[in-house]
Structure 1
Amino acid sequence: MYPGLIRYETVAKQQAEVRMSEIGFRVLGPLHVCNDDRRLHLKSPRQQVVLAALLLNANRLVPVESLIKAVWDDGPPEGARHQIQNCASMLRRRIRDVGVSEVEIIGYPVGYTMHVSECRLDATVFDRQVAEGRELAAAGRIAMAAGRLRSALSLWLGAPLAGVPGRIMQQEAARLAERRLSAQEDWIDLEMAVGGSAQVTAELYRLVGEHPFRERLRAQLMLSLYRSGRTAEALAVYRQTWQLFADELGLEPSPVLKGLEMAILRGDPALWRTSPARDPFDGEARVEYPIGAYGGMA
């Protein structure tokens, strides 16, 4: 742990522990409904899909037709609306049985709304924390921003909506996964900006392995290696990227990635540039960093 982040690690851990105890509904991983040690086990695929659809649109009206499409795609049976009504009724009762409070499923002639307190749904907490982290970064409070994003990412417990069936749920899961990856990229930029390049390198290798055509991750990996004194490896990542893109896509890396390679070759001081300034609000160093010029945060 580098000194500038010790206090923020502690605060983020405390905040995460509080949120983990409050959250009753989870979509950032397997679909869970829980209250302390009481957990709702939904074996019905229909109930899983309806609950997931309502949670993904928490506090908004979800039309019955949208729920039917999510459950049966383009082949709903006769009486599909009645089956959705039965699912909603069953979900109300089962959620009540595990004692989860601050939630209500309201039926209307055209659909359903699931009213959920913001702190009870992991996806809502995640989005809020990510937004706060980005606002802190824009204000130059880099270490605090990194801690806030780290706390948000700690809410993830695996692949989103794991086990929930259906094409539409797969699409929703892909959208959630993209939000996670975007937050991970922003967090990595911030960690490197406060001196954590060596600490994020292993994570970057893992992410590049999972998303080999994501240029921003490759740029971050090159920069983290260079800042860790591993220049040869940084350049090797560029050569591997060039070969992969040529073989699989028939393309070359973008000008941004090419520019980063050239900057590394000439030892451009901008790759190290930080401009510490005292933050009057929390006492941490404010940092201006050049990652955006080489594929990081804009």
Structure 2
Amino acid sequence: MITIGMAVRDEPRFGVLGPLTVSADDGSRVALRGNRLPALLTELLFHANRWVPARRLVAVLWGDNPPKSHMSNLHTYIHRLRGRGIPIEQSDGGYRIRVDVTDLDLLTFHAEADAGRRAARVGEYEIAAHHLRRALDQWRGTDACAIDQPHLELEAARLETERICVVEDCVDAELACGKAGQLLGELDTLVRQYPLRERFAAQLMRALAATGRRAEALRVYQRTRHTLVDQLGIEPGRHLREVHEMVLNGQ
């Protein structure tokens, strides 16, 4: 018996922000053997809810040297994915996978990040931090996506940059909520991992100053400045300099 008001799900869930995963509605994992089925599925998922031309999928699967039977083979691979419960639609020129936002971690990541940024713009920092952390929780590791797939290397690099920007936005929101002390360990790790990201350095300086550790904050500035000069031949940007002045002035 179905209880009224309770959703009955029969769609799989997908993960690409980490190793590719496909989970059936009962939570069991769907196995995709070989190389071509995962490559085909990741291409469709990275363009979820949009039509992907068949010629693009052929290029993904075989590069510049497809077999004479490439269209027949492509249809076979699509049929195999459908046989595993994966909803793929076909048009004259291509294929599309329809996925709800909650059923693909990539879509969830974007939706939560957008919600967090909207909240931050109107000063609702607790709500912003909640959404931004939910966005970051979609990532299973930070080694760029389901991507032992060469055709998605550029997408993976772009997404990794976007993830870092979401981390920065989240830290700003949490600093605005007065969580400086809770962020010190995370920020120290981030500054060491990304020594050229001035925003992380500025955030660590703000957190240290907020917890009464001004001398350490000034050392972060000097260390970051030396790194920028040595590796890029540039001085710190305006924002980092402004934070440095604030710390010097005890603000």
Shorter-chain TM-score category?
A: 0.7 to 0.9
Q: Does 1:138 align with 2:121?
A: yes
For the Cα contact (< 8 Å) 1:104–1:115, is it kept in 2?
yes
After TM superposition, the structure 1 = structure 2 runs for residues 182-201 of structure 1, keeping only pairs within 5 Å, are 182-201=165-184
Aligned match for 1:45, one of 35, 41, 53 = 35
Q: Could you give the per-residue CA deviations for residues 125-182 of structure 1, whole angstroms, max 9, x where no partner exists?
A: 121111111222222221122112112222221234245321x312111122222211
Q: Does 1:33 align with 2:22?
A: yes
Q: Does 1:114 align with 2:103?
A: no
| Aligned residue in 1 for 2:77 | 87
Q: Which protein has greater RCO, CA pairs closer than 8 Å, 6+ apart?
A: 1
Distance 2:188 2:59 in 1: 39
Deviation for aligned residue 1:23 = 7.1
After TM superposition, the structure 1 = structure 2 runs for residues 59-74 of structure 1, keeping only pairs within 5 Å, are 59-73=49-63
Which segments of 5 or more consecutive residues in structure 2 lack a partner in the other structure?
A: 1-10
SS at match of 1:179: helix
SS at match of 1:39: coil
Which segments of 5 or more consecutive residues in structure 1 lack a partner in the other structure?
A: 1-21, 97-102, 269-298
SS at match of 1:190: helix
Q: Does 1:228 align with 2:220?
A: no
TM-score (normalizing by structure 2)? 0.87
TM-score (normalizing by structure 1)? 0.74
Q: Does 1:248 align with 2:226?
A: no
Deviation for aligned residue 1:214 = 1.2
Distance 1:71 1:224 in 2: 48
For the Cα contact (< 8 Å) 2:180–2:211, is it kept in 1?
yes
For the Cα contact (< 8 Å) 1:222–1:234, is it kept in 2?
yes
| Aligned residue in 1 for 2:245 | 262
Deviation for aligned residue 1:185 = 0.9
Check 1:164–1:42 CA distance in 2 against 1; reply closer, same or farther (3 A cut). farther
Percent identity between matched residues is 37
